[in-house]
Amino acid sequence: MRTQIGIIGAGPAGLLLSQLLHLHGIENVVLEARSRQYVEGRIRAGVLEYDAVRTLEEAGVGARMNAEGLKHFGVNLRFRERTHRIDFADLTGKFVMVYSQHDVVRDLIAARLAAGGTILFEASDVRPCDFESEHPSIRFRHNGQEQTLECDFIAGCDGFHGVCRESIPKAELAIYERTYPFGWLGILADVPPSSEELIYANHERGFALLSMRGRERSRLYLQCAPDEDPEAWSDERIWEELSWRFAVRGEDWHLKRGPITQKSVTPMRSFVAEPMQYGRLFLLGDAAHIVPPTGAKGLNLALADVRVFARALDSYYHKHDSTRLGEYSNTCLRRIWKVERFSWWMTSLLHRFETHSAFERRIQLAELDYVVSSRAASTTLAENYVGLPLE
């Protein structure tokens, strides 16, 4: 089997890359370890930056997103039982779109298959090979048979626990990481959201986030211990704790309750592997970097990597210019570290740290007060939240 680009992983990064390359006339094959049903059913991030929305539109997969997604022109910070809105439209002229990652994946799979694209689901024992040479390949097993995909370049879009980053010699990678001393207990509930826009709450009992997955389903989070057992939390206990942390004075607001359909605990980690390319193997998305979910940046960073890589490949094949390919890692990392900084800052600003003294807690609240009372500080938050320039 032969193609130009071998893509490992059918998450949003691998699928968007496949779609953009198709539009550029560049052949590609996607290999995915899981089934199509599993990939389309994973419910993950749900906030798309302004330029991520534009990228999906340019890829020809924006119709359902624009019809069913929720445009948000601001976000709310709640502390000391008061709500403060950051107005994206006024401060940046932009918006974000609430549209679940699994819907992005479904749209991309439908588009690739409609165009005759090749996605091999349930491909096992996937191994990138010979990527230090000019003739890389991917070996894998599919339908019970050992197969080899020969290609010009390999795109590692297989996530944090995938095989691609692990295939690079450890001596060739610098790893930067931080593990946070808490996690998020996340729930899905079949109840309309209690707010039209997200609410980030800083409370003495810990952080909470009110989000949504459409007009009829709510997504909510509670700061918890990183090893918390979600089954130890009854539905009643969860709703009571959320009510405490979202408490507000002077507003006609209440938390809507409904059936909880999913519970899980998300660990909090910052992680970057440098460089993001080795030979003819390129890392994209979670294979190269992880951010804590506080700033809603994980999916958006992956899509930004894809855009940079797709443009580099377009230059290579159609202009016979390899400059952008050589600069891929540095181009992406300049943006990644700014986003890592923002995600770390949001996490530090909003969570309760057991090690904080009373002085540090007051400093945290003072910084929140500054962010919402200074137009310059509000603009900084808004610019980062709606998304920094892609290049």
CB 85 within 8 A of CB 74: yes
Q: What token pair was written down for 211? A: 């989000």
CA distance linking residue 259 with residue 388, whole number of Å: 37
Tell me the catalytic residues. 72, 200, 293, 297, 385
Q: Is 193 exposed, middle or buried (0-12, 13-18, 19+ CB in 10 A)?
A: buried
End-to-end CA distance of the chain: 34
In SS3 terms, 202-258 reads as ECCCCCEEEEECCCCCEEEEEEECCCCCHHHCCHHHHHHHHHHHCCCCCCCCCCCCC
Specify the DSSP class assigned to residue 295: G
Chain centroid to CA 250: 35
CB 177 within 8 A of CB 271: yes
**Bridge-partner residues for 281, per DSSP?**
154, 278
The sign of the CA dihedral 263, 264, 265, 268 is negative
- Looking from the CA of 200 toward its CB, the CA atoms found within 13 Å total 22
CA distance linking residue 175 with residue 177, whole number of Å: 7
The sign of the CA dihedral 141, 143, 148, 154 is negative
Specify the DSSP class assigned to residue 2: B
**Which residues, in sequence order, are CB contacts of 65 under 8 Å at separation 6+?**
48, 53, 56, 57, 97, 99, 103, 104, 107
